Structure 1
């Protein structure tokens, strides 16, 4: 289970991303499973130090810049299926 602060960060990120998509006329582009997965992967790698500069953090975790990273955790038919777009599905791989 995620700590309260992490849940708050996830909620704020999701809300902001949904608003941004709506403001841009791209509400249909929002993908719940991809969004939650990316946030969880970042939180997992933070490992306690949230004061580290972005450049140092991403230098230690360059895989976070790989657009295909979520595919390591989901079969394509699940990750890109219609249910994953609207509902967070837990990783299966």
Structure 2
């Protein structure tokens, strides 16, 4: 549930042309920062999320949702819930 919440927030911002940085995501989702970082790692490993790393400040790294992978994940989750 929290994975889809993060991906959904990122997707909506991305579609509206807004850039989301790692520093912002826990505030945007209302989740604990530590939990958010774990979920970001999960989304990244599942291929739904790419992180454009900022080597001088990791929290300024940009989060990018792969819309196709995100939609696929939503369909799969819907099938499992049915």
Question: Which structure has the larger Rg over C-alpha atoms?
Answer: 1
Task: Report if TM-score (shorter chain) is over 0.5.
Answer: no
Q: TM-score, normalised on structure 2?
A: 0.29
